Structure 1
Amino acid sequence: MSDQKHVIIIGGGFGGISAAKELRNSGMKVTIIDKNNHHLFQPLLYQVATAALSPGDIAVPIRAMFGKFSNIQVILGEVTNINKREHALELKDGRTFEFDSLVVAPGAQYNYFGNDHWADNAPGLKSISDALEVRERILLSLEEAEQIDDPKLREPFLTYVIIGGGPTGVEMAGAIAEIAKRNMMRDYQNFSKNESRIFLVEAGPQILNGFPKSLAEKARQSLEDMGVSVLLNTPVTEISENQVTFKEGSIETPNIIWAAGVAASPLMNSLGEPQDRTGRVMVNKDLSISDHPDIFVIGDAAHLEEKEGEPLPGLAPVAMQEGRYVGKLIRQQTPVDEREPFHYVDKGTMATIGRAKAVADVKGWKVSGFVAWIIWSVIHIFYLIGFRNRIKVFVEWMWYYFSFKRGVRLITNRFSK
């Protein structure tokens, strides 16, 4: 019987990968389990959805990242249950695994606030398949509009509704505006860019909630200047096929994109721990769960309050710092009473709006426009995994910046609407 400690990491996202990197050549057996075979750089997923990048530009096979480390095993599978008392977990296919330490980092899913049937008509952006579906909906809609002579009848196919005014919604609205108002219109002859309508719908009083109000307002103005209608204080009441309904009217379109909120993975229910209203598990200051110091929850699945009663946001930098912290605790086998509490170092928040347009709040330094876009671009390229990915994305961005042309405009699956 081997005395080698077995660490299981659930999830190959930012948190899980960061934890695994800390455990390379640690002398421990490390198993990464993910239902996908790749690590996905989600912050750039919207660029796949809007035909700026290919899936391979922002995704790397997990095996390729750890193949040279003999102590790390990668398993393609979906964890459905965690037995914290027995230190074991079960996969969807019935396989079971025992562990000495567990890092739970399964990411999040979109939250439709009790209206899960909306997902069929308003896909979100959490996976490559989501992005490809959104991309093909957009492209198919343009193709259909090209074949309709009556401007009134083709109006729905040139209308886009993005629900949710967070960074994903803002970035998606800006990217679609560039497609609809400039990039792809040169390829179509039967309608003009002025027929396109883009709506960014937010239930609250401002977009980019959590950003300084001045930056949020600059972002809203930039979107308006690009032709996006920003609807504030406008909660959605119903989504049906080809229609979004609000309290004071509706919009007809097959192009509905959901970016309005996330919820933790349903897997968290199996831990039997207190959870917040979005399903995130309440964790200790060392990111472990109650009475189980060898089980850690990080990233979008964890609820940890650091100041003013507000939980840490579900951002990639938070998950990465948590992953490194937990990985070090496990590698060093730090006793519970000697663990320093996790502390998140906030390096700032930023969101891009479009070509050479962004907003950033970096340690109190508020900047917008071209300078913010440069900062956003450099940071996102830096965090991409793999030299090849960084170079390729940089080249794609430069090509788009000077040519105004988006490259990946293929329709392959013809998603039904």
Structure 2
Amino acid sequence: MSVAASTAPKRPHVVVVGGGFGGLALVRKLRRADVSITLIDRHTYNTFQPLLYQVATASLNPGDITWFLRAVRAKQRNVRFLKGIVTGIDHQQKRLSLHGDVSVSYDYLVLANGVTTNYFGTPGAEEFAIPLYKRSDALQVRDRLFENLEEFAINGQDRDLRLVVVGGGATGVETAGAFAEFRNNDMPTTYPELDRAKIHVTLLEMAPHVLGPFHEKLRDYAKRSLDKRDVDLRLNTAVKEVRADGVLVEKDGQEEFLEAGIVVWATGVTAHPTVLDWNVPQGRGGRIEVDEHQAVNGIENTFAIGDISIGPSSLPQLAQPAIQGGKHVAKVIKADLKGKRDSVKAFKYSDKGTMATIGKSSAVAEITHLPRLTGFPAWIIWVALHVATLLGGRNRAATMINLSSKYLFSGSHNAIVGETPYIVAKHEMHITPAVKKAQVRRVEARKAAAHPEK
């Protein structure tokens, strides 16, 4: 089916592949341009990836951080949405092929499809580890967490439970910190039968420090914050293999197997294998090579922005380069429509800084024109910026309510959970000393309330 033939746009047709930060920034910048736009994505929603770990650790609903892509038409009538996966590109005919024998013609093509998880060839990683790149990944981590805890509550008191996070970047640090806070602050109330000392949160990093792109001062602060939360931080440690029941690691030439109930893979990213079929020049990590205007090298009226692109100057794979790149390409397209493409200056990225959080009231921030920040000030900025950047007022409100409930009201231990399988007891249940003490305290409290005069 030819989608272009069914609509027959008379205006220049801009096709944008990917509804992430960069794709949406470009679409919105073309709101008043005399063009027809088709936005294509394999999902019907945009995912706010910086908060995926909050879904994975049961603090946010998946709907809080996803936004219906078709809603873009509410304020922009020159765009339509098409759900699909690009299987090939005919650059001569200017036509995309999608799954389901759908084809789409274009005058301008913008590839903003992002990247995917890089397992670096680690044996068993793709099969047994869970990445944190999609909404479904976060839900899988969350449900596996509670499955492990419920099973541990019935059958696991004779052994330890370990949650492993691989990768000491922002995602890894934030996930490990959230796991640790859940164990330290919530589980004594919600899982009193479990011995906290038997539940370990392990963060593995090959480098000698976490948060590599940050200043040494902020890296040291993050390490201290993780230590304070009793995260088992293992630096200079390589993952040699991931197995169904844990990970094999190596440090200083010595191998060790860490039994684990969950292995979260939070390392690097790479281009999706599908890009190999698009006949575009690819560089490091499979990223699409572009020039100083984000135009794909050697291909007319085709651009790439965001994580999938790699240009003359290396840019961080963050939201801001994608957003700024999208806006720049929109400027190039609008200038080209007027025959003034050569008047557009080369794309120049404006670095606004970066930040990461370790837990409640603990974060690090390197923000342009501000001193390096740690602790509560950095955390407040982190919360405000992430809530403000979310798409849609409903998402911002829901996220603010849930995060407030999590961090501001210490009496709340509610978790946003899904379904877990039934657990079959492997032996007769017994009451641990911790549970017995908790039961005694509850009985004494009830007696005191019933007879306050005593």
TM bucket by the smaller chain?
A: over 0.9
C-alpha separation between the residues in 2 aligned to 1:327 and 1:305?
20
Give runs of aligned pairs for residues 12-411 of structure 1, distance below 5 A. 12-115=19-122, 117-148=124-155, 150-152=157-159, 155=160, 158-247=161-250, 248-306=255-313, 311-333=314-336, 335-363=340-368, 365-404=371-410, 405=412, 407-411=414-418
Range with bigger deviation, 262-271 or 362-371: 262-271
C-alpha separation between the residues in 2 aligned to 1:407 and 1:76?
35
Q: SS of the counterpart of 1:207? A: coil
Q: Deviations over 1:115-168 (max 9, x none)?
A: 47422211101111110000001111110110026432xx1xx31110001100
Q: 1:150 to 1:413 in 2, by over 3 A?
A: closer
Are 2:189 and 2:413, in contact at CA under 8 Å, matched by a contact in 1?
no
| AA of the residue aligned to 2:326 | G
C-alpha separation between the residues in 2 aligned to 1:406 and 1:108?
35
TM-score (norm 1): 0.93
1:206 Cα deviation from its structure 2 partner: 1.4
| AA of the residue aligned to 2:377 | V
RMSD: 1.9
Are 2:362 and 2:375, in contact at CA under 8 Å, matched by a contact in 1?
yes
1:415 Cα deviation from its structure 2 partner: 11
2:5 corresponds to which residue? Answer: none
Are 2:281 and 2:288, in contact at CA under 8 Å, matched by a contact in 1?
yes
Are 1:14 and 1:316, in contact at CA under 8 Å, matched by a contact in 2?
yes
1:85 Cα deviation from its structure 2 partner: 2.2
Q: SS of the counterpart of 1:346? A: coil
Are 1:137 and 1:415, in contact at CA under 8 Å, matched by a contact in 2?
no
| AA of the residue aligned to 2:247 | V
Q: Deviations over 1:311-355 (max 9, x none)?
A: 101101111111111122213326443331111111111001001
Range with bigger deviation, 31-40 or 188-197: 188-197
Q: Once the two structures are aligned, what percentage of the paired residues are identical?
A: 37
C-alpha separation between the residues in 1 aligned to 2:239 and 2:422?
24
Q: Unpaired segments of 5 or more residues in structure 2?
A: 1-7, 424-454
Structure (1 or 2) with the larger CA radius of gyration: 2
Q: 1:29 to 1:149 in 2, by over 3 A?
A: closer
C-alpha separation between the residues in 2 aligned to 1:203 and 1:107?
25
Q: SS of the counterpart of 1:292? A: coil
Q: SS of the counterpart of 2:32? A: coil
Are 2:94 and 2:107, in contact at CA under 8 Å, matched by a contact in 1?
yes
Q: SS of the counterpart of 2:301? A: strand
Q: 1:149 to 1:262 in 2, by over 3 A?
A: closer
Are 1:46 and 1:125, in contact at CA under 8 Å, matched by a contact in 2?
yes
1:8 Cα deviation from its structure 2 partner: 0.3
1:289 Cα deviation from its structure 2 partner: 1.2
C-alpha separation between the residues in 2 aligned to 1:415 and 1:367?
46
Q: Unpaired segments of 5 or more residues in structure 1?
A: none
1:212 Cα deviation from its structure 2 partner: 0.7
Q: 1:294 to 1:415 in 2, by over 3 A?
A: farther
Q: 1:407 to 1:77 in 2, by over 3 A?
A: farther
| AA of the residue aligned to 2:23 | G
| AA of the residue aligned to 1:356 | S
Instruction: Tell me the number of residue pairs that the alignment of Structure 1 and Structure 2 aligns.
Output: 408
Range with bigger deviation, 354-363 or 20-29: 20-29
Q: SS of the counterpart of 2:241? A: strand
